[in-house]
Amino acid sequence: MAILVTGGAGYIGSHMVWALLEAGEDVVVVDRLSTGFRWAVAPQARFYLGDIGKPSVLKHVFAENDIEAIIHFAGSIVVPDSIADPLGYYENNTGNTHRLLTAAVKAGIDKVIFSSTAAVYGTPENARPIREDAPLRPETPYGQSKLMSELMLRDTARAHGLNYVALRYFNVAGADVKGRAGNSAVGATHLLKVACEAALGRRKSMSVFGTDYETPDGTGVRDYIHVNDLVDAHLRALCYLRKGGGPLVANCGYGRGYSVLDIIEAVRRATNQTFTVDYVDRRPGDAGLVVADSTLARTVLDWQPRHDDLDVIVATALAWERHLESMAAPDIKDLRRLAIGF
């Protein structure tokens, strides 16, 4: 039986596909290539160009493949964009998750692993690592859309016997340690990628949003988790569900944070390059400090991170950026044309 990966041509999804294939799984990918790239999908996976929001696409995929479980990454993830376009985020994240679950129930698929987010917590009440039972108070349409999807999973599980794991990601960073995948998004907003692009001369400058948070250096502090460790948590979740595990919501993070300035300094240290940093006002929806308590994932899923090292995270991200330069120098935007052949 096969594992369906929605959004498998994107940043995290493409890493997931490689990890599943290495584990000996049969992998099917559905992606509409709105932000992902066809070339990013491992060639051993069966790829369908399509939108999971269209029932006909899912019907076709389910008819041609015996799907055991779904790992659902497809969705929109940029917090400021969700504030500008809330209806678009509710449609793409919440609405399409509803359509996917509807099709899964009809097809008799009873295992789902869902890509959720720490944004469901909103601004933490204190500086301690956040547990899964903390108050859920998302402050942006992005966070709301993910929380609504979690609630749909919970209710679907109760009504239809669905078993699921919802993994609440903190800040995903870095690239595949074997160099096969990375963050290839054009115009990315991920802090580490932006800093790497600035260090390599692909941006004239980068911005730091807010220097007046109640943190040691005044900039936001986040729990940065290496993407390979994150996809390993998904593999553990799949094993958990195969063993009969019931609904589970678990944080994915290391339990400690780095500030925006820590990330910038790590990139400067790795490249021995200086670059211009502009200090601007806070963005709506940004919290000062967000760090995970990942005890549940470590104990229930037996998840053991292997890449909890900021310098390793930065080194893999830089290696991928240099790989992208070799693929499409000098204009990184040409990557999309390479991806879909026009």
> Catalytic one among 11, 48, 90, 142?
142
**Nearest CA to 111 among 239, 249, 298, 302?**
239
At position 279, the amino acid (one-letter code) is Y
**Nearest CA to 186 among 78, 97, 80?**
78
> Distance between alpha carbon 199 and the CA centroid of its chain, in Å?
23
DSSP per-residue string spanning 95-119: IHHHHHHHHHHHHT--EEEEEEEGG
- Told to judge if 89 belongs to the known catalytic residues of this protein, a careful annotator would answer no
CA-CA distances (angstroms) from residue 214 to 41, 207, 292?
41, 19, 18
Distant-in-sequence, close-in-space partners of 209: CB < 8 Å, separation ≥ 6: 220, 260, 280, 281, 282, 283, 286
β strands within 42-90, DSSP E: 46-49, 67-72
| The three-state (H, E, C) secondary structure of 229-283, written as one string | HHHHHHHHHHHHHHCCCCCEEEEECCCCCEEHHHHHHHHHHHHCCCCEEEEECCC
Give the residue numbers annotated as catalytic, written as ranges.
Answer: 142
